[in-house]
């Protein structure tokens, strides 16, 4: 009995010892866990700055990319006729749809602007982008400024009136002059030095998100892109341009902005984006086109040199300059009677069948113009290399000339019988040049 009790007592004692030991161990573990939980947490922060290869380039040129707003005169009359051939005719007698051939009537031309219209107003018809390429000069796409009655450039919250001083519609480029624009010009790169795989940084104002930067690579060079446009005188043409293809995002409003390399040099002008195929319902992403900057350089040099040499962009108005003729003068003349032909007074010009210029409605017998071979119906588009858009410009170009001086006249002449034309596409003709020696004539005309 005593031995059994002793055994029992020892068993109870061992069980108690084990229980106490386990409890102590558990308490110790909880204590350690509590201590670890209460310890402060230290965050390890990196001091390494991962630099983008584009940051410096974007910083250098970002402020030189501007917005371009295109305002046009809107008239309810111009939307009254839905048929562009309403009142078709006027070609007989070389009227071209703008009245009696002397600018004194409007016939039934739906594109004519009636002198008694007073319901026109300016509306914003489009916005795009541009890049400051010289002090006070902005490069953009022609389609951004096309048909504008007023242009303005925006930089941040500021707006500046702009003037179109040069363009080449066939290449879709235009140059604006902006007085007091306080932005530095970018550096022009060499688009001929580009390689497929080079970085492409595009900056513009898509959907009015000012200064948006997108990045991609040059996907291809010398992509042939066909488009319809007009020549420098406003006549319709079909053009094929060699473009830079990129996968950098280009969206509506990017047009006219800048494509830059990683050195911050302007190498292209974003112009268009492919979104789908005419032959397929497939959606296309990552195919944008830009005009190589080397294509724009000749126009830039020509315009900037001309503007710097002659800051005034408006020709002085002579007291003798009038539509349809001149007041008496002893100045030497060509011996022609001219009137302006443009999209405002002729649907044939508005539809690209004829160029804008000075229409020769009469030519005096034995005059310098007749001797040079000019004919009634010719449309003068250049005088001494300067593009002509109004008859007044022709008059002003001759104001400082002396008898015996010569002028080079570039003109457009129709082919075939104009009375046989039944549509704008039927119109055929070509440009030619003649040299006219001015002389003193008895009557007054240019």
Q: How far apart, in whole angstroms, are the C-alpha atoms of residue 396 and residue 340?
A: 14
Residue of 266, 62, 296, 293 whose CA lies nearest to 168: 296
Distance from the Cα of residue 402 to its chain's centroid: 40
- With b for 16 or more beta-carbon neighbours within 10 A and e for fewer, the 205-234 pattern comes to bbeeebbbbbbbebbebeeebebebbbbbb
- With b for 16 or more beta-carbon neighbours within 10 A and e for fewer, the 357-379 pattern comes to bbbbbbbbeebbbbebebebbbb
Contact call for residues 4 and 10 (beta carbons, < 8 A): no
Residue 62 designated active-site: no
* CA atoms 157, 161, 165, 166: torsion sign: positive
Residue 255 designated active-site: yes
Residue 143 designated active-site: yes
Q: How far is residue 315 from each of residues 96, 386, 420, measured CA to CA in Å?
A: 27, 12, 38
Q: CA-CA-CA-CA torsion for 281, 282, 283, 285, nearest 10 degrees?
A: -150
- Burial group, residue 137, by CB count within 10 angstroms (0-12, 13-18, 19+): buried
- The single residue of 170, 219, 255, 391 carrying the catalytic annotation is 255
CB count, 10 Å around CB of 147? 12
- The single residue of 64, 109, 143, 367 carrying the catalytic annotation is 143
Contact call for residues 99 and 107 (beta carbons, < 8 A): yes
- The single residue of 95, 109, 168, 172 carrying the catalytic annotation is 172
Contact call for residues 132 and 140 (beta carbons, < 8 A): no
Catalytic residues: 143, 172, 255
């Amino acid at each position: 009995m005593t031995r059994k009790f002793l055994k029992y007592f020892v068993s109870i004692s061992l069980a108690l010892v084990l229980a106490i030991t386990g409890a102590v161990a558990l308490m110790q573990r909880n204590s350690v866990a509590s201590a670890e939980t209460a310890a402060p947490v230290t965050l390890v922060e990196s001091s390494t700055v991962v630099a983008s290869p584009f940051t410096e380039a974007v910083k250098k040129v970002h402020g030189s990319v501007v917005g371009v707003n295109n305002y046009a005169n809107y008239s309810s009359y111009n939307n009254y006729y839905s048929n562009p051939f309403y009142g078709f005719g006027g070609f007989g007698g070389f009227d071209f749809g703008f009245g009696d051939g002397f600018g004194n009537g409007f016939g039934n031309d739906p594109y004519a602007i009636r002198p008694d219209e007073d319901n026109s107003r300016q509306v914003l018809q489009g916005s795009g982008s541009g890049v400051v390429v010289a002090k006070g000069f902005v490069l953009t796409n022609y389609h951004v400024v096309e048909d504008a009655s007023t242009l303005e450039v925006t930089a941040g919250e500021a707006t500046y009136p702009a003037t179109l001083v040069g363009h080449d519609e066939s290449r879709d480029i235009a140059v604006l002059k902006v007085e007091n624009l306080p932005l530095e010009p970018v550096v022009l790169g060499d688009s001929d030095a580009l390689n497929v795989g080079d970085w492409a940084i595009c900056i513009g104002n898509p959907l009015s998100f000012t200064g948006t930067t997108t990045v991609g690579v040059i996907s291809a060079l010398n992509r042939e892109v066909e488009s319809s446009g007009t020549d420098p005188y406003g006549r319709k043409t079909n053009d094929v341009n060699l473009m830079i293809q990129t996968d950098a995002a280009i969206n509506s409003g990017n047009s006219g902005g800048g494509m830059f390399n990683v050195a911050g040099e302007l190498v292209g002008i974003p112009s268009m984006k492919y979104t789908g195929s005419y032959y397929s319902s497939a959606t296309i992403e990552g195919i944008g086109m830009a005009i190589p900057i080397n294509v724009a350089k000749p126009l830039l040099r020509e315009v900037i040199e001309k503007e710097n040499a002659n800051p005034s962009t408006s020709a002085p108005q002579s007291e003798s300059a009038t539509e349809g003729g001149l007041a008496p003068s002893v100045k030497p003349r060509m011996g022609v009677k001219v009137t302006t032909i443009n999209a405002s007074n002729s649907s044939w010009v508005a539809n690209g069948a004829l160029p804008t210029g000075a229409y020769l409605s009469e030519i005096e017998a034995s005059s310098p113009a007749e001797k040079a071979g000019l004919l009634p119906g010719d449309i003068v588009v250049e005088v001494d290399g300067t593009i002509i858009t109004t008859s007044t410009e022709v008059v002003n170009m001759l104001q400082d000339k002396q008898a015996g001086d010569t002028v080079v006249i570039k003109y457009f002449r129709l082919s075939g019988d104009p009375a046989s034309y039944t549509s704008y596409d039927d119109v055929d003709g070509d440009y030619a040049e003649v040299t006219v020696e001015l002389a003193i004539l008895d009557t007054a005309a240019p």
